[in-house]
């Protein structure tokens, strides 16, 4: 596909790029070393038992309004003023192709996908398997075929192949009005790949949802950069932000693509968010830090920054945070 109109698209390589030059290209030997360290990793008790979660009932979910639930990893359910949105829906057992490969889920989803309330909007951050899950989307569309999807450049074909029909594909900073909400794609530092041959052929994105009286920022998947200051300048300060805190070790390898808890706190500050909660931890074993380390490090970083933990919460899987935020 030709995306030459996009400032993020390199016309010679036909691939998207981070404007700050962060390529996230790794040599074979480096990838091999990290992969073998992952395979030989120390025993992590959380991988076997998962994290305790809160399991909302069907009735709770049917009445879901004016609140947010962290379902797990980067899957967030949020409702404001009658509009319900879901981010990067993932309810299956593995983050990989064919449902058999890739890291396995260690904390089960807190409820069945069929029990979700009516969803108006789905935001997709990028095409990595832990964020774009074919089976979850197919299942969702079986019950709710009219969901509107918002995706970064290049992701329409794969969403259509999953059965989605209402898709808005946008570049960074473009926005679409939908049911009284302004939905704007935001610049983040990451990359994309779904197979051996499609590295960075599709874009990655954060998302700002702005109502008249409330806004929600979904970071998606991102390394720490100056992007969040730019986001606040262009989209305003979010009322509530979902910020990733996990999958950061080995640091040199991961830091371009994934922020650590200290950087998550800086992201919160750069966004000028009123409130935030942590995502992207405790669900899939993607990296080498112990699975319970991100929330502990988040607390330390919040304390250092003088931010009360009621402002930047570490919710349990399935936990609901009700407005007022
Ligand atoms: Fe990713």
Query: Tens digits of per-residue pLDDT, 237-282?
Result: 999 999 999 999 998 889 999 999 999 999 999 999 999 999 999 9
Report CA(190)–ligand 1 centroid distance (Å).
7
pLDDT for the residue 28: 67
Return the pLDDT at 325: 74
* Cβ atoms 214, 82 nearer than 8 A: no
Domains in the chain, number:
1
State which residues of the chain have pLDDT below 50: none
User: Does 62 reside within a domain?
Assistant: yes
The answer to the question of residue 244 being in a domain is: yes
Tell me, what CATH number does 160's domain have? 3.60.15.10
Q: Does the residue 25 lie in any domain?
A: no
> Has residue 41 been placed in a domain?
no
Cα(219) to ligand 1 centroid in Å equals 11
Range(s) of the domain holding residue 183: 51-320
Say if 123 falls within a structural domain: yes
Rg of the Cα atoms in the chain: 18
| pLDDT score at 43 | 80
Report how far ligand 1's centroid is from the alpha carbon of 201 (Å): 14
pLDDT at position 27 is 67
Per-residue pLDDT reduced to its tens digit, 275-310: 999 999 999 999 999 999 999 999 999 999 999 999
The confidence score (pLDDT) of residue 145 equals 95
| Position 150 in a domain | yes
- Integer Cα distance of 93 and 317 in angstroms: 15
Q: How far is the centre of ligand 1, averaged over its atoms, from the C-alpha of 258 (Å)? A: 8
Ligand 1 midpoint to CA 212 (Å):
31
Interval between CA 189 and ligand 1 midpoint (Å): 10
In this predicted structure, what is the pLDDT of residue 20?
A: 83
10 Å Cβ neighbour count for 104? 14
Distance in angstroms (rounded) separating the CA atoms of residues 224 and 314: 19
Number of neighbours of residue 173 by Cβ within 10 angstroms: 16
In a domain, 164, yes or no: yes
Would 36 be classed as within a structural domain? Answer: no
């Amino acid at each position: 596909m030709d995306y030459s109109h996009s400032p993020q698209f390199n016309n010679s390589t036909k691939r998207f790029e981070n404007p700050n030059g962060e390529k996230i290209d790794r040599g074979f030997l480096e990838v091999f070393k990290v992969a073998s360290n992952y395979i030989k990793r120390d025993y992590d008790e959380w991988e076997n038992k998962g994290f305790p979660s809160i399991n909302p009932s069907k009735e709770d979910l049917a009445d879901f309004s004016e609140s947010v639930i962290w379902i797990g990893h980067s899957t967030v359910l949020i409702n404001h003023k009658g509009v319900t949105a879901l981010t990067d829906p993932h309810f299956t057992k593995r983050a990989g192709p064919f449902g058999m490969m890739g890291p396995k889920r260690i904390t089960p989803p807190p409820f069945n996908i069929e029990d979700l309330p009516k969803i108006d909007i789905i935001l997709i951050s990028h095409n990595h398997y832990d964020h774009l899950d074919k089976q979850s989307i197919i299942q969702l569309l079986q019950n709710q075929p009219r969901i509107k999807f918002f995706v970064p450049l290049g992701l329409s074909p794969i969403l259509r192949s999953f059965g989605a029909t209402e898709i808005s594909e946008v570049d960074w900073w473009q926005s679409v009005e939908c049911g009284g909400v302004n939905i704007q794609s935001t610049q983040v530092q990451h990359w994309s790949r779904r197979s051996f041959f499609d590295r960075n052929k599709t874009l990655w994105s954060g998302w700002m949802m702005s109502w008249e009286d409330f806004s929600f920022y979904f970071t998606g998947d991102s390394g720490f950069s100056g992007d969040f200051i730019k986001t606040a300048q262009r989209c305003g300060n979010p009322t509530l932000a979902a910020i990733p805190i996990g999958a950061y070790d080995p640091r040199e390898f991961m830091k371009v693509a994934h922020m650590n808890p200290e950087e998550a706190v800086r992201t919160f500050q750069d966004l000028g968010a009123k409130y935030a909660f942590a995502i992207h931890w405790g669900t899939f074993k993607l990296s080498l830090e112990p699975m319970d380390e991100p929330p502990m490090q988040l607390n330390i970083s919040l304390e250092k920054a003088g931010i009360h933990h009621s402002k930047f919460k570490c919710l349990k899987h399935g936990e609901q945070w009700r407005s007022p935020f």
